[in-house]
Every structure is written in structure tokens, then in C-alpha cells.
Structure 1
């Protein structure tokens, strides 16, 4: 039996939420199904959002667990796959189910999940879909990544005896303030978890302030440190390098609205010092590429677009890499990467992907999602922080002028990523212990 925790009974707010979600589930499904359909997801797979499985539950040896992971989108799912790989090494007889909510994460899972692991779209957080999902899959443990606190799902899984963990726990300050206004409900939901592993001490204290049991809250580092390196298409890299030739290249990756103007201004400055310099500009969301293209035109820079099959020529000053799934390939072009989502208060993006690719990192100050990562990475010499276009241009120029300094920074970034990844074995061991996933599949408090 699963432990009941100290969160008390479900609150009136929880019961109201459960009733409302049951009523609106058919309407919510129409919306999410239409979005999935627009992205090429089949009708059968769309119905997974209603809890209708599209695959059978795997047949397991009597003592082997089915371990369910959930991550909202690509980043969380990649972190989940990191742990799946670690746990598979320790429990080779276990089977793994990964759920997520987006078509892009589903496509990624198809290529990155280990053999035998299954991906399904997550059920809507409503009684009917959740019941059908749990009836079919009957997971022994559920591991939620980062910030997905679905009350109906967590309550129903806990009630059935599924031991639950929240890993890489991350809630924005805004979310924390919102939950603090609903303290009793927050305490009830967090008490469904047997273990809560936060990204850092600050987040651990936030969880405790919301009513989480201090004995169940521990810092667990950032799972993204142990993710496999991004895939690289060697043939594409060779073709791009042929197009670029001997020109110097720098990369601005995962950029958001309001950041490209700063990056393009820095690039214009750099062109005075390096007239043949090429910028590979990679928007976080390729659907913004038309707007980004217009910004490049406004900056009076010449460019080519990846999505249109346009090649880099000697006259190309900016290569707009507006496609999905090729980030690792682009990182292979240059060891000098500015990582977006950081010049504005967005929270930053995963620096481990850059470091694993052998590159050094330039970041803005807005990295609240990685407060446990960027300060020590900067202290180690693997990253530098900039505030504006002049500072960004200066940082790029410094590393282009001093290849030895750039190589030292790349080595520092890679070493930092490797040291962080080694800590994940301890996370896997802790999950096995707290979720009762040991060799005999027994629960400590059974």
C-alpha cells in the first residue's frame, strides 16, 4: 500500500476542480485533438488524451515494475529519458512508459526512447480519461518531471497505490504565489508524492513553504545534465561546412521574441572586425521565422533560410536555421554559442546541450530556470554573461580573436557537464529506494 502522507483529506477546491474538469473534458479534447491533428497525429493517437491506449500494456515478469514518466513537452521528456536510461541500467527487467502532451515531444520520443519503452499522450486531467489510463497501464510508480502538478491524475494514481515522485521540480515564483493562496489544496496535492527532488535549495524551500513534507524534499540537481548528446547529421554538417568554407561562424540558439534585435545589432558590430563572419540564428519556435526574417531585412543583413532549402553563399551574413530537430547538427558548426531565452526574463535554456556539443556558452542574465547551473558554469569558465548588444559583440570578438581562450572555455563547459551528469546515478538509486523499485519490487512501508 502506498503511504498516505500528511496532507489530510481532499479540499473543497479539489472536489470542485475535479467536477469542473469532468464537465469540460469533451470540449478540452476537441481543442487538443484539433491541435494534434494539425500536426499530423493520427485519430487513434489523439484518443490517448482521453485515456484510450493505442498499445497494449507490456507483459512483465512477476517482480518487474512498469515505471511511468511524465514530461509536458520536449525538454521535460528529454530529462525523463535521461532517468529512464539510468533506471534501465539498474532494473533491466523493468518496462517504461513516457507520457507527454505535444506532438513534438512524441516525435522526439520515437527516436530517443530506449528499446521496449512506450510513449503515449497524457490523459486529460479529468476523472474519465485518468481512470481509463490507469485501468489500462496500472503503473507501479509515476515520476513527474519539473512542474506538471495535475491534481486529478496525482490523486487517482496515489489512491490506487502508485508511488509517486516529482523530479527536477521547478515552479515559477508566480506559480508559488498562486499555490500559496490555496495552501490547503497545495499541501494535499504535494502529499501525494513520496519523493520530491528539486533543482536547487531555493526550490526545495518553495515546496516546503507550500506544505510538502520536509522528509520527502531533497535537492536533486538538474536531470538535463545527464541527457544524451543531441543527434548530429554528419552529412548535413559536411554540406554546411563546405558552404561556409573557412569563414568564422557563431551561433545564436533558442532565441525568443525581443532577443533577435540585440543579436543582430551585435552581429552588425562584429562584421566591422570580421567582414566574412556568418551568424547561424536559430529561433526557439520556427513558426516565428517569417517575423525573424523581417528583422534580418530591417537590419540590412543578407540571409538564407534553412526551411526554404537556401544554401549559405559567400554573401550570406545570417543563416536562419528555422527547422526542428537539427540543433545538434548546427552546434557542430561552431564552438561559440549564445543561448537565448536569457536576454529577457524568460528563464533561459539548457546549457548542457551546448556543453555536450563541445561549445562554450554566452548567456544573458534571465536564467531563472537554471539558477543551480549557470553560476557554477560561469565560475568554471565555461560560460560568460552579457547584458546587451555591445557586451555580446565583445564576448564573441574575444573568443574569435583568442582561439586558445575559446578552447579553454569549451573544455571547462564540457568538464562541468560531465561532473553534473555523474550525480544522476545517485538520483536513480534514490528513486529505486523511495518508490519501492528494488529487485523484489517490494515497498518499504508495505
Structure 2
């Protein structure tokens, strides 16, 4: 009965959802395309194989090693990936081209999910992290499709939100066939919401199984060689409200290191132009990646306004600030810079990656900063002390290597359900 009312409310809110989609299309034109897929029509669906759902860019990148292994281990089974955002869609196509099918996930109404599942006829549905929808899970169960929650994470904040609607979500959690969860603390939260103990394994995070591409590292080395001997730091995946303190910290840093270069990579493409204006208004000289130019000696900020190149930007830097953490966004993937041996800065809001960030912090690889002054001071400290900076970066790399192995456990669990 709770799911009936959920579906009814969702249906009644659909005009508002479509208006919001129109508003997002006004800001980012890609949202205006492929609307039929949001109603389970069209799309490149490859029936009878493996279905992977990754909501957006971060989840698509996290899923990539798993998808590559599934394609290699089960070549007879086609893979279809769904997502919710144009940036996620672009990332999937950049990662896999035509090797996988791809479409947007439809809205979570039972007849739309039923239509998608009927067209896909998947052997297994793999949902990345926490992108759970009551009707999606219920319709998979009705169709006899096993559902795996892969690389599952659940912050205390998210768990509190689920507990407010427990009558609706408990059947959804109880219906999951297998949850590969990142940590024991998160496993307890999932169990409290209804996941069966027998259907859950603590595997760790597959994000630890990140292996930077040699081609990316080589391309970054070529970029960096053309910039001369200058200190470089990166502020990656920044959100609105974070660029200002980052630029303020960079201005302070330039007083001691006048040749320092900041690579600034906003999280969302619709913010690229606005952030470029913000840099110019701050009085700092700017070069944009989208224009095809490389930073010259006089340039102080390199704006990473491109898609799919974050690891290459990281590989150019001496240290990294990871965004979504100065504002209450929960942070982003700290393991990407750590895997490259970069010391990491984070704001205080790390709840999306609490356990991972704590591991890095305890190893001396991550330092929390609360504002521009603290950020500038720590960036300067690491740039002034090569030994301390390299020690912190190596500590982070060791944390990544010591926690690898989750991907193999995940793949074995999926194979048992195929």
C-alpha cells in the first residue's frame, strides 16, 4: 500500500518534474534531448544480458572496471548501462563507445519500469552505490530479475532520510538479492532498513581498485612538461560556493609562490562559463581547456571545462583539493588523487566518503581545511616541503593499494547470480 501512494504522488508530481527538466534544459541543453527514454521508449537496449545502472558521472566511472571485467568474463552476454543525467550519458559513451548499450532510466512509475524490464529481459540488474527506486526494485522482483546493489554505501544522513519513510523502503531493501557493501558500519545501516544479513557482504569499495591508465599519466606528463618548472595544485569537482574560497586561497598562495598554477575543475558543466567569469572577476589570468590552449607562463588558473579528463588533470598536479566538501555536499572520490600519489585536502563535509576519508586522514594523506585561509596555509606548507608532500602522497597511495580486492569479490558474487 505505501508503494501505491508513492506511485500516485509521483504521477501527480510528474508535471512539476517535467517543468524542472525544462528548466535544466534551459541551463544545459543536453537535458532537452532523448525524453522518450525517460518513458521507457527508444534507447540502445541489448536484451538478455547484464543491466548496470549508474546514476551519473561518478558512479559511471566507479562502475567502469566492473563493466570491463564483465565484458571480458562473459562475452556472450551483452551489457546495457542506464543513467539519469546527460553528463553520465556522455561519460558512459566516452568510456565504452558502442561496446555497451545505453539509455536513460525511466521515471519510477511501475508501468514504465515494467516496460523497460520487459524490453531488456536482463539476467541480472546491478545498481551502483545507493540509486534505489521502489518501483524499479519491485518490478525486477516481479519479473524474477536478481538485483545487486554494488559498491553500496549509506551515510548516517541518508539512513535517517530512509527511516522517515520506512514503510515504503523496507520492502525495497528486503527484496535486494545481494548487497556488496563498502564497510561494516554501512552494513549495519542497511540491515536496520531491512536488508537480510544473508544477502549482504562487506567487500570494501571497488573505488580502491582504481588503476590510473598509463596513457593518461603519459599525456599528463606531456602537458606538465610544457608548463615549465612551476608548482601546480588542483581544486577538483567544485560546487557553487566553493570556487570563491579556492580562488581566494590561490591569491594568497601567489604572494609566496608567484608562478603557482591552479587547475580548477567544476563538478557540473552548466557552471563552466559562470566559473570562468568568476575567475576573471577575481583578477586572475585564465586559460580554458575547452579552447584547446595550454597554460602559459603568465596564466594563473587553468579551467578544466571538459568532460572525462579529471584523472589527467589530477596527474598534472602536486596536490589536490576535492570539492563538494566545503559546502554540505558530502565530498567526492578522494581515492582518485590518492591513487596518483597526491596529498589530499578536503573540507569538513565528507559524509559521502566518511570511512575512506578517515583512512586517508589517519595515514597522514588527507588534511581537513575549513576555509580559504586554512586551505592556502596547507597548500603552501606542502609546496614548501617536498619531503612532507611526497610522504603524504605515498601514504595515500599505500592506503589505496592495501584496500584493493573488492572488485574481484563483487565479480564473483555477480557471476553466481548469472
- TM-score band (shorter)? 0.7 to 0.9
Distance 1:34 1:265, change over 3 A: closer
Q: Is 1:382 the equivalent of 2:365?
A: yes
Higher mean alpha-carbon deviation, 358-367 vs 148-157, is at: 358-367
Q: Per the alignment, in what secondary structure is the counterpart of residue 161 of structure 2?
A: helix
Distance in 1, matches of 2:96 and 2:316, equals 26
Work out whether 1:313 is the aligned partner of 2:313: no
Residue from 40, 43, 48 that aligns with 1:51: 40
1:355-414 deviation per Cα after TM superposition (whole angstroms, max 9, x unaligned):
333422222221111112111122233332223333322222222222233223333322
Structure 2 CA distance for partners of 1:36 and 1:421, relative to 1, 3 Å: farther
C-alpha distance in 1, partners of 2:19/2:371?
43
Deviation at 1:35, TM superposition (A): 5.7
Matched, 1:15 2:4: yes
Q: Please state if 1:248 is matched with 2:231.
A: yes
Q: Per the alignment, do residues 32 and 128 of structure 1 end up closer, same or farther by CA in structure 2, a change over 3 Å counting?
A: farther
> 2:235 touches 2:264 (CA, 8 Å); kept in 1?
yes
Q: Secondary structure at the match of 1:430?
A: helix
**Taking structure 1 as reference, are residues 142 and 222 closer, same or farther at Cα in structure 2, changes over 3 Å only?**
same
Q: 2:222 aligns with which of 233, 238, 245?
A: 238
Q: Distance in 2 between matches of 1:272 and 1:162?
A: 60
Structure 1 residue 169 and structure 2 residue 152: aligned? Answer: yes
Following the alignment from structure 1 to structure 2, what is the Cα–Cα distance between the partners of residues 372 and 268?
32
Count of residue pairs brought into register by the alignment: 416
- What SS does structure 2 have at the residue aligned with 1:113? helix
Structure 2: gaps (5+ residues): none
Answer whether contact 1:70 1:143 (CA < 8 A) is retained. yes
Aligned to 1:135: 118
| 1:345 equivalent in structure 2 | 328
Show the counterpart of 1:327: 310
Q: TM-score, normalised by structure 2?
A: 0.88
C-alpha RMSD of the superposition: 3.0
Structure index of larger Rg: 1
Does the 8 A contact of 1:29 with 1:49 survive in 2?
Answer: no
Offset at residue 286 of structure 1 (A): 3.6
Kindly indicate which of the two structures has a greater share of residues assigned to helix: 2
Cα pair 1:158 1:192 within 8 Å, conserved: yes
1:294 and 1:25 map into 2 onto residues whose CA distance is 35
Contact (CA 8 Å) 1:281, 1:318: kept in 2 or not? Answer: yes
Where in structure 1 are there 5+ consecutive unaligned residues? 1-11, 61-65, 438-446
Instruction: Please state how far the C-alpha of 1:141 moved relative to its aligned partner.
Output: 1.0
